[in-house]
Amino acid sequence: MEHWHTSKRNMYGKLLLFFSAHAAIWANFNRLVTEIAAFVNKVTAFDKYVAQQQQQTKGITTDKETKFHTMKTLIVRYSRKARVWAADTGNETLQAVFDIRKTDFSKMPGKKAIARIKDVCDALNINIGSLAGYNVLPANITAISNAITAYENAANTPGAAKSLKKTGTAGIDTEMQTIDDSIAIIDDLLITEYEVGNADLVAEYHNSRRIDNIAVHHGGIKITATDADTGAELQGLEMEAEGTDKAALTAINGIGEITGIKNGDYYVNLTMKNYETQRIKVTIARGKITEQAVKMKKALDAFVDSTH
C-alpha cells in the first residue's frame, strides 16, 4: 500500500478499537449501531483487497524463486554424478556439459539458465542407460523434467499477477471511499448525539478519527500473528506500544502495523480473546519498519470453555 493508504488504515484501526470499547454507550441507538457494523464490514473487505495485493506481488515471486531453486538443485545433483561417469569414460565433451554448479546460475539471465538446464537434462536422458551405476536413474530425469515444467509455469504467471495486483489496488481505493462515506455518517450521528452530554467521548472519537502522517524520520512495528498450533493467521489481535498512544488491530491476513514511532526500544502488548497475552520487546530504527512474527498460544480457559 501507499503511505496514504497505510495512514488511513491505521486510522480505521483506531476507530475499530474505539467502537469496540464503547459499544454499550450507543447500544440502543439503532441507526448508529447499523452504520458502525457497516463500517466494520467495509474495513474487513478493505483488508481482503490488501491481502490479495500483497499476496500476489510477493507470493508469486517467492513461488518462482522456490521452483528455480528446486530445478537448479536437481540438475546439479545428477549432473555432478554424470560428470564423474564422463571422466571415467574419457568423454571430455560430456565432462564439460555436466560440469555445472549452483553458483553458475547466480548471475545468469533466466532464459539462458533454463536453456542450459534443458541441455544438461537432455544429455542426461540420452546417456541414462550408462548412468545407473552412478545412481542416476530414469526417475531422476523425470523429477528434473517436472521441476523444469513447474518453473516455466511459475515464470509465465507475472502477467496474471500484475492483473490481480491491479484489481487489488483498485479495490483498495474503491473500498476506502465507501469506508469514508460510513465515517461521514457516523460523524453526523455520534458527534451530534454526544457532544453535549458526553464531551470526553466525542473528544476521544475525534482523536481516533485523526489521520497520523507517516514521517520519514519515524519508524514503526509490523506484526504478523498466527495461531501457535494451527498456523492460522489471526485477525483482530490488538497490538499496543507502551509509552505511546499508538495501537492497532491485525487485519484478515494476520498483519498489523503501528507507524509514526520515534526510534528506540519499546514493549508491545499483544492481546486477543481466547489467547495468552504476550509482551514483546522491539527496537525501532530511524525511518524503518521493524517486522516480527508472533505465534499466539491458546489460553487455558479457552480450552475449558470449549468443553461446555
User: 512474527: which residue's cell?
Assistant: 293
Q: Which of 191, 212, 233 is the last residue of a domain?
A: 212
- pLDDT at residue 239 tops 80: yes
Predicted confidence band at 32 (pLDDT cuts at 50, 70, 90)?
Answer: very high
- Tell me the sheet residues that pair with 278: 270
Task: State pLDDT tens for residues 141-181.
Answer: 999 999 999 888 877 665 555 566 667 677 887 888 899 99
**What is the C-alpha separation between 80 and 104, in angstroms, rounded?**
13
Would you say 235 and 50 are in contact if contact means Cβ atoms under 8 Å apart? no
Whether residues 30 and 112 share a domain: the answer is yes
Whether residues 222 and 202 share a domain: the answer is no
Whether residues 167 and 293 share a domain: the answer is no
Task: State pLDDT tens for residues 96-113.
Answer: 999 999 888 877 787 888
Which one of 72-86, 159-173, 281-295 scores highest in mean pLDDT?
A: 72-86
* Pair type for strands 289-296 and 219-227: parallel
Q: Which of 162, 194, 212 is the last residue of a domain?
A: 212
For residue 44, count other CB atoms closer than 10 A to its CB.
15
Helix (H) / strand (E) containing 71? helix 60-88
Whether residues 18 and 101 share a domain: the answer is yes
Nearest Cα residue to 262 out of 241, 239, 231: 241
Task: State pLDDT tens for residues 211-229.
Answer: 765 555 567 888 999 999 8
Whether residues 91 and 206 share a domain: the answer is yes
**What is the C-alpha separation between 301 and 299, in angstroms, rounded?**
5
Nearest Cα residue to 3 out of 209, 259, 295, 225: 259
Whether residues 124 and 261 share a domain: the answer is no
Degrees to nearest 5, angle at CA 247 with 250 and 55: 25
How many structural domains comprise the chain? 2
Whether residues 112 and 175 share a domain: the answer is yes
Q: Which three cell numbers stand for residue 273?
A: 480473546
DSSP per position, 194-224 = HTTT-HHHHHHHHHHHPPPP--TT-EEEEEE
Whether residues 151 and 223 share a domain: the answer is no
Whether residues 50 and 118 share a domain: the answer is yes
- Containing structural domain, residue 284: 214-308
Nearest Cα residue to 63 out of 150, 166, 167, 144: 150
- Tell me the sheet residues that pair with 259: 220
Q: Which phi and psi (to 5°) does residue 157 adopt?
A: -95, -5
Query: Residues with Cβ < 8 Å from 189, sequence gap 6 or more?
Result: 29, 31, 32, 35
Query: Does the pTM exceed 0.85?
Result: no
Whether residues 107 and 193 share a domain: the answer is yes
Average pLDDT of every residue of the chain: 85
Q: Which of 164, 181, 212 is the last residue of a domain?
A: 212
- pLDDT at residue 252 tops 90: no
Helix, strand or coil, per DSSP, at residue 1? coil
- Kindly state the DSSP code that residue 24 receives in the 8-state scheme: T
Would you say 275 and 293 are in contact if contact means Cβ atoms under 8 Å apart? no
Whether residues 159 and 257 share a domain: the answer is no
Task: State pLDDT tens for residues 116-125.
Answer: 999 999 999 9
Query: Domain containing 298 — which CATH number?
Result: 2.60.40.10
